[in-house]
Amino acid sequence: MNNRDFAEYYIRQVAFAGIGSEGQARLASSCVAIVGCGGIGSAAAEQLSRAGVGKIKLIDRDYVEWNNLQRQVLFDEEDARRALPKAVAAARKLKTINSQVHLEPIVADLCSENVEELLEGADLIVDGTDNFETRYLLNDACLKAKRPWIYCAAVSSYGMLMPIIPGRTPCLKCLFPREPEAGRLATCATAGVINSITGLIASLATAEALKLLVESGKAAQGLISVDLWENLFEVRRAGKRSDCPACAQGRYEHLEARGEAAVRLCGRDALQVRPPSPQALDLKGLARRLRKAGEVEENGFLLRLRAQGRELVLFPDGRAIIKGTEDPKEARSFYAEYIGL
Ligand SMILES: [Zn+2]
């Protein structure tokens, strides 16, 4: 496509008074990081690409599965068949949607050791994660680097969102000083989720992102909650907490907690196991060796082993997702038995 085609690509958006040609130029020179390319993250990535954000970092630790396709709009059946990493599959699809956007797919689990490096250069972060542990980490990293981020969540027919702007708005710790109990109980695996809520929260997040990137001064104030089944739409003003450890006192306890857990829950009936230090594994060689032990597939990005009624997906850095157990000891011994790091 030439420059004239691209002028036409954005013509309806430039015609919108809130953006105009100046706003469009700002979008083109912006970088957004999307953490988690699931239902919300993939839909937001598509909208931000079509809107012409210049650079998008796609950070995700997982791979495409069949149960994602009902709502994760960037993936198709072939991606699930091949078990492609979500960040890679998302970047491939986005490239066909808008070839002008610079895409950086990153297959990694965001943790305290890598979060600052991974978010480097981003003007704004969209939260597409599914757990509070990672959100608190994002909150700390964004406050420290003074990067705005958009807290997003969706489960069943319910979703919420709040733009968090360091120095201006309350932060996630002001809103939820501790991990909400309900968050532990209702997950997309246990309570299900409909695609209209993930799509809606992604649209709201994109609108907030555009408003912030073009410096419109119109960012939503407070927590927006929606329940599409119960017809509930609500904006709740939130206040800063004067005793907030993160935004008031500048103590970033999640960021400073080094030595990430070696094993942690990753969805339902699945655990993530990390090696003591990042590796650079030869997956092809390992696949040849493991063929004797079970059913093995290797796709250039990850290796999948099925054995003893369990499934292990291994990434080149040695990280693995083990399905079929919720017992950390079992997961570790399964990992040790086959991968042996
Ligand atoms: Zn706070």
Distance 185 CA to ligand 1 centre (A): 24
Q: Which of 180, 174, 179, 227 is nearest to 201 (CA)?
A: 227
Distance 312 CA to ligand 1 centre (A): 38
Distance 221 CA to ligand 1 centre (A): 15
Q: What's residue 1's pLDDT?
A: 63
Q: Which of 264, 258, 202, 326 is nearest to 61 (CA)?
A: 264
pLDDT at 268 over 70: no
Distance 31 CA to ligand 1 centre (A): 25
pLDDT at 42 over 60: yes
Q: What's residue 326's pLDDT?
A: 82
Distance 16 CA to ligand 1 centre (A): 34
Distance 242 CA to ligand 1 centre (A): 8
Distance 12 CA to ligand 1 centre (A): 38
Q: Which of 299, 264, 149 is nearest to 209 (CA)?
A: 149
Tens digits of residue pLDDT in 256-267: 987 666 677 766
Half-sphere CA count of 212, side-chain side, radius 13 A: 29
Q: What's residue 341's pLDDT?
A: 66
Distance 311 CA to ligand 1 centre (A): 40
Cβ(228)–Cβ(213) below 8 Å: no
For residues 148 and 183, the model is more confident at 148
Question: Which tokens go with 273?
Answer: 């196991």
Whole-angstrom distance, CA of residue 125 vs CA of residue 4: 30
Q: What's residue 13's pLDDT?
A: 97
Question: Which tokens go with 180?
Answer: 């909400």
Q: What's residue 219's pLDDT?
A: 95
pLDDT at 188 over 80: no
Distance 246 CA to ligand 1 centre (A): 5
Cα angle vertex 96, ends 94, 100, to 5°?
Answer: 75
pLDDT at 117 over 70: yes
The model's confidence at residue 59, banded by pLDDT at 50, 70 and 90, is very high
Overall average pLDDT of the 81-104 stretch: 97
Distance 145 CA to ligand 1 centre (A): 14
Cβ(126)–Cβ(44) below 8 Å: yes
Q: What's residue 339's pLDDT?
A: 85
Distance 248 CA to ligand 1 centre (A): 6
Q: What's residue 3's pLDDT?
A: 74
Whole-angstrom distance, CA of residue 311 vs CA of residue 304: 7
Overall average pLDDT of the 16-23 stretch: 97
Q: What's residue 266's pLDDT?
A: 66
Question: Which tokens go with 286?
Answer: 């390992």
Cβ(326)–Cβ(265) below 8 Å: yes
Instruction: Quote the percentage of the chain above a pLDDT of 70.
Output: 95
The model's confidence at residue 185, banded by pLDDT at 50, 70 and 90, is low
Distance 139 CA to ligand 1 centre (A): 9
pLDDT at 191 over 90: no
Tens digits of residue pLDDT in 192-245: 999 999 999 999 999 999 999 999 999 999 999 999 999 999 999 989 999 999
Distance 183 CA to ligand 1 centre (A): 19
Q: Please give the model's pTM, rounded to 2 decimal places.
A: 0.91
Q: What's residue 267's pLDDT?
A: 65
Distance 243 CA to ligand 1 centre (A): 8
- Which single residue is written with the structure tokens 């998008």? 56
* Maximum pairwise Cα distance, the chain: 63
Distance 239 CA to ligand 1 centre (A): 9
Distance 338 CA to ligand 1 centre (A): 44
Q: What's residue 204's pLDDT?
A: 98
pLDDT at 77 over 80: yes
Q: CA of 240: how far to CAs of 167, 244, 245, 310, in Å?
A: 10, 8, 11, 46
Q: What's residue 184's pLDDT?
A: 56
**DSSP reduced 3-state for 320:** strand
For residues 232 and 323, the model is more confident at 232
Distance 141 CA to ligand 1 centre (A): 13
Classify residue 324 as left (phi > 0), alpha (psi -120 to 50) or beta. left
Distance 50 CA to ligand 1 centre (A): 33
For residues 143 and 269, the model is more confident at 143
pLDDT at 182 over 60: no
Q: What's residue 271's pLDDT?
A: 87
**DSSP reduced 3-state for 144:** helix
Q: What's residue 300's pLDDT?
A: 92
Distance 262 CA to ligand 1 centre (A): 29
Whole-angstrom distance, CA of residue 131 vs CA of residue 91: 23
